[in-house]
């Protein structure tokens, strides 16, 4: 108010903060420079604008400029391939490691299917795979989708000329631009090769053998009497008695290898132990499975068909997770066949599933094999779909390979667009010949050289002794509440429900969720795998 108190006074000066709220205050320096006739506040000319991308000329290894290639049209294609994974760090491109995709990409460039300009990055070509396999895992059929230059009618032959013998391109098919081979894959076939001696019952006096026999006494009639395995071990024992005295056999069974720095390969007891194992291995390779035992294994594998909760057949999945539900469409167990210089008998197991989780196939094979070895009823598989957590070991990765991805759901759409179906059965003869030469022979040889499956199941049979994973009766726990073996679910007692009660609903009960069984002493793991791995897809 003024001094006379009659009129209020107004300040017509606008506060400087008002300008800061205006649009000019928010201008960038570049725009202000343009508004001020291209000069900055110091009256200097604005700096030249930087060029984000420069079209630099291509140069060879010596730095000399290379003439640009003519631009040729690229087409979206599906490339059907097969490969032996030995020596590779898996399927997926992972520099500087040698992978299947790195050799494929190099061959595409050298054959002219990918231009030099696009030879530095897979993403420029829209590279995608239907199934990723891990280190050392093979594939009779797999598929990748990308953009290639396919004007040359001999392009497939030229690509194969640039590839090593362990990788083959079966065909190249045109597909529509929206094709994504991973998402469009409706199901997958996997194959697992298993030596039949893996189905022989646990060795007498082993921890798993004792668990099985004790269960038979407590609950008679639950488990099968495996007379075939009993006769096998009687024949082995008879042969050993002919080769060694009682004192020598006792020394062999109680032999403990010394530390590595003190090991003596000429030690007399060690040489006897070595000879003992050779005789055992000879009997295993001479073993021929009976039709009754083979049928038991087949009926056990059939328990996997349909939609089930496979949370016990993978890692990190809870019973209540929807992603643990998987659908198995078809399972085939071949007739036994004898192959290789060692004359070992094998069976081929083929599993057709909509999708698989990490280690799922290897755990499925392991569970079915253990049930057949221990004489459990086949429906023990169905009980494994319950909420009770089981510790199922992974079978060796050696026998696993990807047979082929299936695109049944998308093939009808391809035909509507005027493209050919993607069907690996059209190349079955070439795939079988390739697998026999580059995959099967390597599996058979490695199994004989390393005794992979024998080492695995021997380790499982004595797992409780090696790790001390046996429960003991106490005042609070006795009888059925005591876990006598980590593999007690294979005994006559079966899969026991958890007896632990939760005192605090906010805390998750982990007492019945055992850790993954380590198999480091079996010479079977090269787990970037997972299997095949047998990875989630």
What is the rounded CA–CA span in Å between residue 198 and residue 287? 10
Strand (E) or helix (H) holding 183:
helix 181-184
4, 15, 55, 134: the catalytic one is 134
Q: Active site includes 134?
A: yes
Confirm if 270 and 252 have CB atoms less than 8 A apart.
no
Q: In this structure, are strands 128-129 and 138-148 parallel, antiparallel, or unpaired?
A: antiparallel
Q: How far is CA 455 from the centre of its chain?
A: 21
Helix axes 268-286, 227-243, angle to 10 degrees: 140
The DSSP letter of residue 506 is T
CA–CA separation, 225 vs 228, rounded Å?
A: 9
* Helices within 246-400 (DSSP H only): 246-253, 268-286, 291-301, 360-374, 380-383
The residue length of the chain stands at 537
Q: How many CA atoms lie within 13 A of 316 on its CB side?
A: 4
Beta bridge partners of 171: 80
Q: Please report how many Cα atoms fall inside a 13 Å half-sphere around the Cα of residue 79, on the Cβ side.
A: 31
In the beta sheet, which residues pair with residue 80?
Answer: 143, 171
* Residues 212, 204: Cα–Cα separation, whole Å: 10
Helix or strand or coil: residue 442? helix
Per-residue b or e along 31-70, where b marks 16 or more CB atoms closer than 10 Å to that residue's CB: eebeeeeeeeeeeeeeeeeeeeeeeeeeeeeeeeeeeeee
Q: DSSP readout, 411-435?
A: HHHHHHTT-----GGGGHHHHHHHH
Q: How far apart are the first and last CA of the chain?
A: 80
Structure tokens at 350: 């083929």
DSSP 8-state code for residue 14 = P
SS3 content of the chain, % helix, strand, coil (to 5): 40, 15, 50
Task: Say how far apart CA 97 and CA 99 lie, in whole Å.
Answer: 6
120 burial (CB, 10 Å; 0-12 / 13-18 / 19+) is exposed
| Side-chain half-sphere CA neighbours of 96 within 13 A | 0
How far is Cα of residue 365 from the mean position of the Cα atoms in its chain? 13
Q: Do the Cβ atoms of 495 and 510 come closer than 8 Å?
A: no
H-state helical runs in 205-267: 207-218, 227-243, 246-253
The C-alpha angle 447, 101, 116, rounded to 5 degrees, equals 150
- 304 among the known binding-site residues? no
CB count within 10 Å of CB 174 equals 16
Tell whether the torsion through CA atoms of 232, 238, 244 and 247 is positive or negative.
Answer: positive
Give the residue ranges of the annotated binding site for substrate: 190
Specify binding-site residues. 190
Q: Which residues participate in catalysis according to the annotation?
A: 134
């Amino acid at each position: 108010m003024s001094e006379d108190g009659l009129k209020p006074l107004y300040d017509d000066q606008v506060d400087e903060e008002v300008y800061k709220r205006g649009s000019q205050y928010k201008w960038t320096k570049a725009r202000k420079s343009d508004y001020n006739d291209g000069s900055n506040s110091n009256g200097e000319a604005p700096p030249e604008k930087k060029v984000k991308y420069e079209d630099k000329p291509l140069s060879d290894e010596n730095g000399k400029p290379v003439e640009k290639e003519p631009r040729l049209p690229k087409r979206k294609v599906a490339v059907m391939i097969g490969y032996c994974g030995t020596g590779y760090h898996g399927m997926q491109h992972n520099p500087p490691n040698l992978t299947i995709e790195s050799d494929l990409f190099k061959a595409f460039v050298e054959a002219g299917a990918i231009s030099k300009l696009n030879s530095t990055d897979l993403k420029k070509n829209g590279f995608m795979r239907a199934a990723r396999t891990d280190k050392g895992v093979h594939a009779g059929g797999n598929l990748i989708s990308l953009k290639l230059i396919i004007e040359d009618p001999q392009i497939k032959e030229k690509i194969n000329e640039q590839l090593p013998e362990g990788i083959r391109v079966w065909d190249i098919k045109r597909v529509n631009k929206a094709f994504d081979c991973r998402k469009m894959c409706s199901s997958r076939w996997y194959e697992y090769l298993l030596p039949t001696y893996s189905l022989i019952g646990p060795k007498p006096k082993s921890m798993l053998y004792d668990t099985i026999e004790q269960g038979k006494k407590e609950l008679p009639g639950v488990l099968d009497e495996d007379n075939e395995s009993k006769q096998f071990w009687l024949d082995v024992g008879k042969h050993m008695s002919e080769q060694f005295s009682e004192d020598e056999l006792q020394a062999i069974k109680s032999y403990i290898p010394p530390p590595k720095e003190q090991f003596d390969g000429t030690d007399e007891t060690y040489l006897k132990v070595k000879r003992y194992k050779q005789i055992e291995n000879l009997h295993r390779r001479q073993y021929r499975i009976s039709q009754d035992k083979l049928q038991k294994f087949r009926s056990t594998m059939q328990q996997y068909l349909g939609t089930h909760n496979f949370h016990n057949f993978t890692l990190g999945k809870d019973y209540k997770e929807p992603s643990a539900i998987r659908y198995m469409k078809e399972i085939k167990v071949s007739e036994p066949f004898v192959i290789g210089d060692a004359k070992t008998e094998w069976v081929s197991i083929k599993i057709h599933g909509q999708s698989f989780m990490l280690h799922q196939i290897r755990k499925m094979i392991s569970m079915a094999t253990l049930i057949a070895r221990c004489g459990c009823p086949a429906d023990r598989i169905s009980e494994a779909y319950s909420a009770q957590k089981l510790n199922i070991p992974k079978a060796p990765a050696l026998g696993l390979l990807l047979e082929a991805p299936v695109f049944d759901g998308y093939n009808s759409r391809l035909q509507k667009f005027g493209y050919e179906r993607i069907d690996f059965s059209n190349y079955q003869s070439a795939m079988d010949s390739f697998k026999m030469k580059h995959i099967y022979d390597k599996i058979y040889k490695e199994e004989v050289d390393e005794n992979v499956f024998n080492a695995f199941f021997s380790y499982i049979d004595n797992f409780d002794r090696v790790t001390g994973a046996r429960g003991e009766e106490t005042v609070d726990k006795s009888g059925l509440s005591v876990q006598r073996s980590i593999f007690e679910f294979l005994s006559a007692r079966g899969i026991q429900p958890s007896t632990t009660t939760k005192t605090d609903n906010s805390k998750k009960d982990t007492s019945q969720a055992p850790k993954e069984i380590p198999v480091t002493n079996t010479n079977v793991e090269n787990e970037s795998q997972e299997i095949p791995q047998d990875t989630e897809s």
